[in-house]
Structure 1
Amino acid sequence: MTNPEVALLMLGLFIVLVLLGFPIAFTLLAMGVAFGYYAYFRGPIDGVSDIFNNNIFYLLNQNTYSVMENPTLVAIPLFLFMGYVVERANIVDKLFFSLYQAARNLPGSLAIAALITCAVFSTASGIVGAVVTLMGLLAFPAMANANYNKSFASGVICAGGTLGILIPPSIMLIVYSAIADLSPLRLYAAAVFPGLLLAGLYIVYVIVRVYLNPALAPRPKMEDVPPPREIYWNLLVSFVPLTVLIMLVLGSILGGLATPAEAAAMGALGGMVLAVLYRSMTWKKLKESVFLTAKATAMVCWLFVGSWTFASVFSYLGGHDIIADWVGGMALEPWQFLILAQLIIFLLGWPLEWSEILIIFVPIFLPLLDVFGVNPYFFAMLVALNLQTSFLTPPMAMSAYYLKGVLKKQIELMQIFRGIMPYLGIVILTMVLMYQFPGIALWFPDYLFGPYIP
């Protein structure tokens, strides 16, 4: 039954419960079933009441089955497994210190090395919490020992650690393709240059900031720098193998040689081969990687089941229609619609993580893209950039809490917040640049696959 008031109550109650700390996936599931029981109530059979005579249970069953059989989502556990294996292969510490040695003549060399390591590792991992945590244990002590400003160092790690949800092969883009029914290949191609642009602007900011204020990041002592031959060798054995693995995975996808799931399987196998070659593969580490992969995958799948059930009931009650009518009644220009949508997503990033925003709220805007004539892949890239802010926006900046969790008393939370604020501005600047020059996102997919035809 259509009842927009109940739909809005459902949405408001969900936000309140999330802010109170209830688990997202099961809150979605419980509210979907509870409000769905009202929406899909069929009444008694032959005058006899039957509490299970309700289509919400059929809907829940179908949504669960749809998640299990979705071929696109198969890539998620494989990419996760690849990331966990690489994390435990002791590749990242070798990569960080070799990049630091190579960038020793640049202002803020440790910070630049941390950003590049975050970009490479987070691309292989796609797990923001794991990247920020590991780099907090690895890079922050190195920067602290080099007398780097703590706030500056923490901002580098928090911002760099979020790049993996944007730069392909990204788990977030796999999820988006399943939600919006878009080609993951086009999404990957569209995300390449925005991701590299954002990472490049982070590095430029670090260089300029340290050049203007050298006290933030003192230069390394020359006696700490090994000879060039050793530096090149360290880069060869640490940076090249992991980068080649990522490029092979991404290249096979963009080249049409493999589906994302097949490429993810290649990446998982490649991660295990690298771990063996680095002599860091043990039975214990393999079991840990499998367990963490199963745990993270289960979380994502339950989030899908809960959010699709929630969204189905919300739409059936008329929630999507009332929002679409409200936006349509404002007589907005396309650019005004884009600003409004991105502002709402930005504000939602304060209390929510990217997965909840993506699965629950982005589908509200998708039917409006045709109305305003917005390219769905361009909109996807704006959303993908905007979701970076969900990790960087106080007071619920999750990357800051990940870092605080591992550093404990070494730094105050407010110091981390101050460190990440410039990177929040850089994300917004990148969104403005992409809006002014849509080719940043659309040229590469059009070049590879031809112009997009709705």
Structure 2
Amino acid sequence: MTDPQIAIMMLALFIVIVLLGFPIAFTLVAMGLGFGYYAYWDPSRMHSIFDNRIFDLFVQNTFSVMSNDILVAVPLFLFMGYVVERANIVDRLFFSIRLAARKVPGSMALAALATCSLFATATGIIGAVVTLMGLLALPAMLKAGYETKYAAGVICAGGCLGILIPPSIMLIVYSAIAELSPVRLYAAAMFPGLLLAGMYMVYVVGRAYFNPSLAPSPKEEDVPPTGKIVLQLFTSFVPLFLLIMSVLGAILFGIATPAEAAGVGSAGGLLLALAYRSLTWERLKEAVYLTARTSAMVCWLFVGSWTFASVFSYLGGHDIIKNWVLSMQMTPVEFLILAQTIIFLLGWPLEWTEIIIIFVPIFLPMLADFKIDPLFFGILVALNLQTSFLTPPMAMAAYYLKGVAPKHVELIDIFKGIMPYLGIVILCMVLLYNFPGIALWLPTYFFG
């Protein structure tokens, strides 16, 4: 076999092993070292079995990842999210927003979406948002007479917004891979994220307006006085909103780097938890542990993927794929559709981390040939990855929700509930294709 054929076999074997359930990071490391040992084999330098350049490459990649300034923001944003998650802020937020929006059709669903959007912005951890909102909002909506499919779809779709809305962990990871400014990526993601959340809300309110049986209005006797509602909204919504806006504002206006803003956000999360009297030693210890575990997973995914990608490229794998794509003589729009379709299909068996770190770098070198802005491509990928959590049969958001939902809530009902949101995501992508300024205007305005 030729080296390029071995490279393609390496990629196919990786997908098969992942589908069998082996850990992604260590599979990447093992395959990178194994195939790299063959790729860099040089008998003239062999004095022992460890005289192979693949080990030097692995050490260099490990050092590069651990010393990457951009990735410093990842554990800090994760810590901020885990602290906010454990500070009992979300239940106050959901309760106050649903009372404030009580006269709007589907008020509880709208409150769940608003809470998901704000909480997803603070955490960026999809599983945490869907699980917590499944415990908090789903029973409340079902008790109020909401249709199961309608309620489940709202929570699953809203919980995935953290992939796109800044400060997104996914955008930090993409910026490190594509060697882009995370600040520009955050600016580019603002309007698409708000657009998608807004389209979700229009759909939720519209369905409840035309079919009131889906979402019964609350009884007036269950509504507290207006003054109490305003006080609850002020004490729950305003502090978290100010924390998020201060972090994003510091980044977008150039006052602080993402890592510095994330550090301030982490301190702000601790102060919020302290103010709500929910900062205990056990909760703090748990937040630190979860942050360390998730950060280690991301870092080792980077180490493994960079080693894997280096060997794959050295064997000629990237050239084969690039020449195959260029031979089709596609237009830029056709290339974007092909790339996004492949990413959409990969979202069924794989998490967003594997897609971003392993497969997106295959497309990045081709963007220059099609004159596509990598910033614009990254926002399309972030939008597309919403579908990886919402597409049956591997919709992870549905499984997160099923794990905490009441026993009578069937998985098929959750699947049916999230299908309309898939259509909304695709519609949002079509709008972005036709009006790139939705993503590119803000970073151009701020940074030229």
Scaled by the length of structure 2, the TM-score of the pair is 0.98
Distance 1:409 1:199 in 2: 29
Distance 1:2 1:287 in 2: 52
Distance 1:2 1:241 in 2: 60
Amino acid at match of 2:111: A
Amino acid at match of 2:250: S
Give yes or no for the alignment of 1:424 onto 2:415: no
Give yes or no for the alignment of 1:3 onto 2:35: no
Contact 2:309 / 2:358 at 8 angstroms: preserved in 1? Answer: yes
After TM superposition, give the deviation of residue 410 of structure 1 in Å.
Answer: 3.4
Contact 2:247 / 2:264 at 8 angstroms: preserved in 1? Answer: yes
Amino acid at match of 2:3: N
The equivalent of 2:85 in structure 1 is: 87
Within the candidate set 51, 54, 57, 2:52 is matched to 54
After TM superposition, give the deviation of residue 147 of structure 1 in Å.
Answer: 1.2
Q: Is the deviation greater in 196-205 or in 150-159?
A: 150-159
Matches within 5 A, 1:182-197: 182-197=180-195
SS of residue in 1 equivalent to 2:368: helix
Matches within 5 A, 1:136-285: 136-285=134-283
After TM superposition, give the deviation of residue 156 of structure 1 in Å.
Answer: 0.6
Distance 1:396 1:29 in 2: 25
The equivalent of 1:34 in structure 2 is: 34
After TM superposition, give the deviation of residue 431 of structure 1 in Å.
Answer: 0.3
The equivalent of 1:401 in structure 2 is: 399
Per-residue CA shift, 1:231-265, capped at 9, x if unaligned? 11111000000000000000000000000000000
Contact 1:131 / 1:161 at 8 angstroms: preserved in 2? Answer: yes
Per-residue CA shift, 1:261-307, capped at 9, x if unaligned? 00000000000000111111111111111111101111111111111
Contact 2:139 / 2:406 at 8 angstroms: preserved in 1? Answer: no
Within the candidate set 397, 409, 412, 2:410 is matched to 412
Q: Is the deviation greater in 321-330 or in 27-36?
A: 27-36
After TM superposition, give the deviation of residue 2 of structure 1 in Å.
Answer: 7.0
SS of residue in 1 equivalent to 2:131: helix
The equivalent of 1:22 in structure 2 is: 22
Distance 1:298 1:259 in 2: 22
Per-residue CA shift, 1:394-438, capped at 9, x if unaligned? 111111111111226231111111111111110000000011111
The equivalent of 2:315 in structure 1 is: 317
The equivalent of 1:382 in structure 2 is: 380
Distance 2:74 2:62 in 1: 16
After TM superposition, give the deviation of residue 376 of structure 1 in Å.
Answer: 1.4
Per-residue CA shift, 1:318-354, capped at 9, x if unaligned? 1111000000000001111111111111111111111
The equivalent of 2:121 in structure 1 is: 123
SS of residue in 1 equivalent to 2:218: coil
SS of residue in 1 equivalent to 2:217: coil
| Runs of at least 5 residues in structure 2 that lack an aligned partner in the other structure | none
Amino acid at match of 1:392: L
Contact 1:2 / 1:316 at 8 angstroms: preserved in 2? Answer: no
Contact 1:44 / 1:50 at 8 angstroms: preserved in 2? Answer: no
Distance 2:32 2:211 in 1: 53
Per-residue CA shift, 1:45-98, capped at 9, x if unaligned? 4xx762211111111111110110000000000000000110111100000000
| Runs of at least 5 residues in structure 1 that lack an aligned partner in the other structure | none
**Count of residues in correspondence between the two structures:** 448
Change (3 A) 1:381 1:2: farther
Contact 1:353 / 1:390 at 8 angstroms: preserved in 2? Answer: yes
Distance 2:34 2:406 in 1: 40
Contact 2:154 / 2:418 at 8 angstroms: preserved in 1? Answer: yes
Runs of 4+ in 1 over 4 A off after TM superposition: none
Distance 1:238 1:278 in 2: 9
The equivalent of 2:327 in structure 1 is: 329
RMSD: 1.1
Give yes or no for the alignment of 1:339 onto 2:337: yes
Distance 2:171 2:267 in 1: 21
Contact 2:122 / 2:167 at 8 angstroms: preserved in 1? Answer: yes
Distance 2:408 2:156 in 1: 15
Per-residue CA shift, 1:174-220, capped at 9, x if unaligned? 00000000010100000000000000000000011111221111111
Distance 1:76 1:17 in 2: 28
After TM superposition, give the deviation of residue 38 of structure 1 in Å.
Answer: 0.9
Contact 1:103 / 1:113 at 8 angstroms: preserved in 2? Answer: yes
The equivalent of 1:98 in structure 2 is: 96
Distance 1:36 1:307 in 2: 13
SS of residue in 1 equivalent to 2:42: coil
SS of residue in 2 equivalent to 1:251: helix
The equivalent of 2:295 in structure 1 is: 297
Distance 2:2 2:63 in 1: 26
